[in-house]
Structure 1
Amino acid sequence: MKRRTFVLGTIPLCSGFAGCTGQFSDSRMISVTVFNHSERPYTIEMALSRTDEDISRSESRAFSGRIDVEPDEQTIRKDVAEQQQYLIEYSLFEDNSFLTEQDHFHYYPGDEDESGSLAFDITSSGTLTRRWAI
């Protein structure tokens, strides 16, 4: 009888620990915000790849997607990847067809703004510039 009481008495305690460990293991996520300061619509094809040496190229891809931004507007893609070091490659297309720029850069945790977002500006000349956290 005491054994049964002990086992039943520990169930709420164990489930309480399970909830607590979930809070500590949640990774912070990064979002991507793009501001279009031009009079043309743009599409960005963007890929975030982990730079770990011990994983294959196919396993390194954390995010790959398109971000469409209308003229004089902004687009936000929330929680695209966990906060960790990435190689970010992008291609910028005017009117979803004309390639205006293609480049890459490295992201390090802490480079995002206070909202957890990487922010970019599309200039009127069709280039993508990065806003740096202050």
Structure 2
Amino acid sequence: MKRRTFVSGSIPLCSGLAGCTGLFSDSQMLSVAVFNQSESSYTIEMAFSRTDGDLSRSEAQTFSGSIDIEPDEQTVRKEVAERQRYLIAYSLFEDNSFLTEQDHFHYYPGDEDESGSLVFDINSAGSLTRRWAI
């Protein structure tokens, strides 16, 4: 399977939530944070597509990229898309090659955490779960 690589630097996310409040909260942009709680490296390929109107597939897609994350690490990709409704499709690859999960979900403004991020966890079984804003 041939995959595209999205080249962009990653920055470490704060080790706790204290002190991180407000990192992105003034922005109208959406960020993605991933916590890898496993002993394997993973790559997440994501595509954000707008769900409004009669848009062609290429017009609807606003972000498509990969996020690499090492074992027991956390990564954040800042400002990937504006905060609006999306269908978000993802594929999760262990060691950048073995597909462990593929799915999609709907994002609605307000689903992000207080820092403006969609937050995900990769568990030891190789599954991606989404943290919901309280």
TM-score (norm 1): 0.79
Equivalent residue letter for 2:108 = Y
Equivalent residue letter for 2:114 = E
SS of residue matched to 1:102: strand
Equivalent residue letter for 1:30 = L
* 1:38-117 → structure 2 map (5 Å cutoff): 38-117=38-117
- Given that 2:27 and 2:116 are in contact with CA atoms closer than 8 Å, whether structure 1 keeps it comes out as no
- Given that 1:27 and 1:83 are in contact with CA atoms closer than 8 Å, whether structure 2 keeps it comes out as no
Of 26-35 and 65-74, more deviation after overlay is shown by 26-35
Equivalent residue letter for 2:48 = L
Work out the CA distance in 1 between the residues paired with 2:85 and 2:107. 6
Work out the CA distance in 2 between the residues paired with 1:27 and 1:37. 28
User: Structure 2: which 5+ residue stretches go unaligned?
Assistant: 1-25
Verify: 1:122 aligned to 2:104, yes or no: no
1:55 Cα offset (Å): 1.5
Work out the CA distance in 2 between the residues paired with 1:88 and 1:40. 24
Larger Rg computed on CA atoms: 1
Work out the CA distance in 1 between the residues paired with 2:27 and 2:34. 23
Work out the CA distance in 1 between the residues paired with 2:51 and 2:105. 12
User: Structure 1: which 5+ residue stretches go unaligned?
Assistant: 1-25
Work out the CA distance in 2 between the residues paired with 1:48 and 1:55. 13
Work out the CA distance in 2 between the residues paired with 1:46 and 1:115. 20
Work out the CA distance in 1 between the residues paired with 2:63 and 2:118. 14
SS of residue matched to 1:84: coil
Question: Between Structure 1 and Structure 2, which shows a larger proportion of helix residues?
Answer: 1
1:52 Cα offset (Å): 1.4
Partner deviation per Cα, 1:60-107 (whole Å, 9 max, x = no partner): 011000000000001100000000000000000000000000000000
Q: How many residues end up aligned between the 2 structures?
A: 109
1:27 Cα offset (Å): 6.8
Work out the CA distance in 2 between the residues paired with 1:32 and 1:107. 12
- Residue of structure 2 in register with 1:131 after alignment: 131
RMSD: 1.2
